[in-house]
Amino acid sequence: MNRNENFTFYNRVSNDGAVLYRHKMFTFAMLDGEAEHLSSVLREHKVTERLKIGILIGNTPLFLCSLLAVAKLKAAGVLLSTYSKKYEIEKHLYDTGVRILISDNKSSALIQSLSYHKNILYSASDPIIGDIAIWRIEHQGEDIFAQGHGDNWLDKEFIVQFTSGVSGTSKIVTRSYNNVIDEIINFSNTISLTKGDVCICPAPLFHAYGLINSFLASFYRGAKLVLMDKFVPNDLTNLIKRYRPTIFIGVPFMYNLLNKAFLPVGEDFSSLRLSFSAGAKLPKETAENFYKRFGVRINQLYGSTETGVMALNLYNNGTIDFDSVGKPVEGRIIKIVDNDGHELPPYKKGEIKIKSPGTTKGYLNMPEINKRVFRDGCFFTGDVGWMDPNNNLYITGRKSSFINVAGLKVDPSEIESVLLSNSSIRECAVVGVPGKSCGEIIKAYVTAEGKVSIKELAKYCRERLADYKVPREIEFIEELPKSPTGKILRKYLIGEGKE
């Protein structure tokens, strides 16, 4: 029997505290009751189990109840970013065929501005979960129902998410109930999550990391979730002091801000047994400075929208290695392969391939890409890295990010490491741009903390890199374009992301 058949969240009628939001505690019974009511409202409006339901809500209990209501209906939740603009929301609704949308009060103005015809099916100001609206959206997009294999509801789609589109167009990823449940169970087992844990999460819930590795995993094991709707270093510090969380779900830029924040003397993070970082590369300097200041090691978590969590650095061998993203999570098999798909030995750099029951079957409406990256039951991530003999994974970059300089392949992460070793550089991103004659040249975008000139940076690189790896163009930029999780969006630096 599939173990997922018997999957259930922690006692849903329990009066134990489940979620703490703005210093108010919500019990499992309260949230389950609200989700039941919301699912009844959706049923009244003819929402079937095969329908896709959009959710445009921030990090609030309403988001949690909305997704639980979707699960009660055995429908699919399309998780929309609250950072998205009108154009992006319209495109996502059209591409996924969403016609029913749940929103909170903050999103109502954005929905009202959509060029599609819309009307409110239901609205209420709930004393527990706040303002809610259910909309019907009319557009010409195809009616795409949630797909499944056979009659088993576990094989049907549960969540629909969008990749960050770091180097190109955002892709639509659908994951089934089986995919998500498998990740919840195996992640919880790997980190030994218990009812006694308290998880604090400022990471966005529309992202797989915040959604599954904090909310759904906590609900599964009966742990408490301290939910933050925005990240402010002093707010986080106060919450840690008051509620003593054991797990922090963060992203690199949050750790960077904490390192630099002016916080009260004697801030105490010692309750944290795990401090996860995901969504973007964690600079080694950030991890080292956080450890020096707070005495807490950052646990890198490697995952993707397509697969969920793949590897964790839990420092099980007792050593501190800030460069590694750790070992594969329970149930995941990670291999390093060459361009022909052949497995490479330890220390050899190649593409990261993963086999996992948590992986999506493929991108929506992208058959050619699916043939290339989903093969033989595995997902070819496009990430480049290597493994040591102890099965620890190290990530060095993206396959698609490599720059072709006169026939020589250049890994931009190598140049970025050199630039970041200069104390005057806060952040940087290296990309390939068309040269004047042919091929690509290397361009570096940098944000500076101190006084440094382009000439000085070029000299700094020439002293540390082969000539063909030295950036031919260096541009100072105030801020690098980033996703909500802090991942640098290179497509905007090379012009592909412009409308």
> Which of the four pLDDT bands, split at 50, 70 and 90, describes residue 161?
very high
Residue 448 β-bridge partners = 425
Residue 454 has pLDDT above 60, yes or no: yes
> Which of the four pLDDT bands, split at 50, 70 and 90, describes residue 147?
low
Per the model's pLDDT, the better-predicted residue between 393 and 279 turns out to be 393
pLDDT above 70 as % of the chain: 92
> Which of the four pLDDT bands, split at 50, 70 and 90, describes residue 172?
very high
DSSP string across 387-406: E-TT--EEEEEEGGG-EEET
Residue 152 has pLDDT above 80, yes or no: no
Residue ranges and CATH numbers for the domains of the chain are: 1-399 (3.40.50.12780), 402-493 (3.30.300.30)
Encode pLDDT of 206-240 as tens digits: 999 999 999 999 999 999 999 999 999 999 999 99
Per the model's pLDDT, the better-predicted residue between 105 and 380 turns out to be 380
pLDDT above 90 as % of the chain: 65
> Which of the four pLDDT bands, split at 50, 70 and 90, describes residue 128?
confident
**pLDDT for res 166:** 53
Strands 224-227 and 198-201: parallel
Task: Judge whether 276 and 301 are in contact, CB under 8 Å.
Answer: yes
Encode pLDDT of 361-375 as tens digits: 999 989 999 999 999
Task: Identify the three-state secondary structure at position 311.
Answer: strand
Encode pLDDT of 54-72 as tens digits: 999 999 999 999 999 999 9
**pLDDT for res 434:** 85
> Which of the four pLDDT bands, split at 50, 70 and 90, describes residue 342?
very high
Residue 150 has pLDDT above 90, yes or no: no
Residue 168 has pLDDT above 60, yes or no: no
> Which of the four pLDDT bands, split at 50, 70 and 90, describes residue 381?
very high
> Which of the four pLDDT bands, split at 50, 70 and 90, describes residue 165?
low
Would you state the structure tokens that stand for residue 179, as one six-digit string? Answer: 């995919």
> Which of the four pLDDT bands, split at 50, 70 and 90, describes residue 78?
very high
CA distances from 401 to 168, 410, 487, 497 (A): 11, 9, 14, 15
293-308 burial, b for 16+ CB within 10 Å, e for fewer? ebebbbbbbbbbbbbb
> Which of the four pLDDT bands, split at 50, 70 and 90, describes residue 437?
low
> Which of the four pLDDT bands, split at 50, 70 and 90, describes residue 496?
very low
**pLDDT for res 145:** 54
Residue 149 has pLDDT above 70, yes or no: no
